[in-house]
Chains A and B, each alone.
Chain A
Amino acid sequence: MNEFDINNIWNTDHQEAFDHYQSLSDIEKIAKKQSGNILYKIRRNMIIEFIITLIIAVAIGLAILNWDIMLFSGYVVIMVISVYISFREYYKCHIMIKHVNQKNITKAIKDYLDILKNYIRRTKIWVNYITPVAFITGIVLTVISQSPGENLTNLLLHIGLAVLTGIPFLILIIWFANKKYINWVYGRQYENLKSILQRLESYENGS
């Protein structure tokens, strides 16, 4: 029967460990795995967000059609445009993330951060500034289309007053809700990616 010295064999198994260690850049592996998880969450959130946008838009559209009124015709137009813009933003972001070169993980994470930063910035602009404007435009278009005999100056004056009293409040609510929402859905992921990059850079500088 062959001899088998467990302790001796156990203690000689260093070369393979060394070879394996040489082939690994440990921190890069961690960064790759963690950033992969974060990106997965970001893309998943984007898809969920778009699907919800689409469902709400379709539901409102169907409700308007069922009521058989064109009172909110202005809103329908604005809504279709919003859905199109949302889709374009999601798709653009998705493609940009997909095409990031992952060979250099530090560079890849920097690119992901840039893409996400731009996405958050654009979302903020759309929701904080464009949405209230679109909302008001919807009101103006609807009211004008529903009041054919009215004096346009009087009509605009009334609308103007309503807008002036309502819009600061509207912007404040949208701004606050959007800030919380973006932080909840994307902000945490952005911060996590940033901290991975910082660790990676400090590791690279230290080694």
Chain B
Amino acid sequence: MEDFKSVIDKYYPLLYKIGRSFTNNKADFDDLYQEMLIQVYHSMKQFKGKSKMSTWIYRVALNSAISYSRKHKRKEREISRDNFNLHENSSDEKNDVNEREKKIELLYESINELKKDERALILLHLEGKQYDEIAEIMGISRTNTGVKIMRIRKKLQRILTKKGYERI
């Protein structure tokens, strides 16, 4: 079985993305990131290898994120997303990097406007997971997964359109 360090080495981008999708400021992000690490750490003892490691990590991390998000619902609404500056950008950074970062920021901002289970579903979809695996992680049927993802994509498109972008 993989140890904690190799699991985190492998899945940190995923934890990062989940963290960003479920919080709207740096303090909450750090808090949730730690929470996910703790949950993964503790749950590793219970991992029996019946499902794929990635499926299991997604399930643990998403459950932590959804439950964290539920607990911090009020706070989440009050704090502006402008507070989310994980890295300070210097003024001489190239325009294309700024543009890319701006789009990343906008994507997270739009995902954040979705409901909690919708965020989890779109996240798994964007990660390239197949409907079967998404259904297993989320505990819903495959057909339902497909329908929901279609709806969420449309919803996300509407949000982005309102912000002046067109999804392709």
Contacts and interface: CB of A to CB of B under 8 A. Distances in A.
Interface in A19-51: 19-21, 24, 26-27, 29-30, 33-34
Contact of A17 (B16, B38, B106, B164): B16
Nearest to A202: B3
B150 interface: no
A54 to B, nearest CB: 36
B41 A30 contact: yes
Contact of A34 (B5, B38, B107, B165): B38
Contact of B165 (A1, A7, A13): A1
Given A18-B13, A20-B86, A6 B126 contact: yes
Contact of B103 (A9, A14, A20, A21): A9
Given A6-B126, A16-B86, A30 B38 contact: yes
A3 B156 contact: no
A9 B168 CA distance: 11
A1 B164 contact: yes
Contacts of B17: 10, 13, 17
A20 B168 contact: no
B50 interface: no
Given A10-B126, A16-B16, A30-B41, A3 B4 contact: no
B126 A7 contact: yes
A6 B167 contact: yes
Contacts of B13: 14, 17-18, 21
Contacts, number: 78
A3 B107 contact: no
Interface in B73-130: 86-87, 100-101, 103-104, 106-107, 126-127
B164 to A, nearest CB: 6
A5 B167 contact: yes
Interface string B126-140: 110000000000000
Contacts of B87: 16, 19
Given A3-B166, A4-B103, A5-B167, 7 more contacts: A4-B165, A5-B168, A16-B104, A20-B16, A21-B13, A29-B34, A33-B38
Interface of A: 1-7, 9-10, 12-14, 16-21, 24, 26-27, 29-30, 33-34, 203, 206-207
Interface of B: 3-5, 8, 12-13, 16-17, 33-34, 37-38, 41, 86-87, 100-101, 103-104, 106-107, 126-127, 156, 160-161, 164-168
7 nearest CB pairs, A to B:
A17-B16, A4-B165, A17-B13, A10-B126, A1-B166, A21-B12, A13-B104
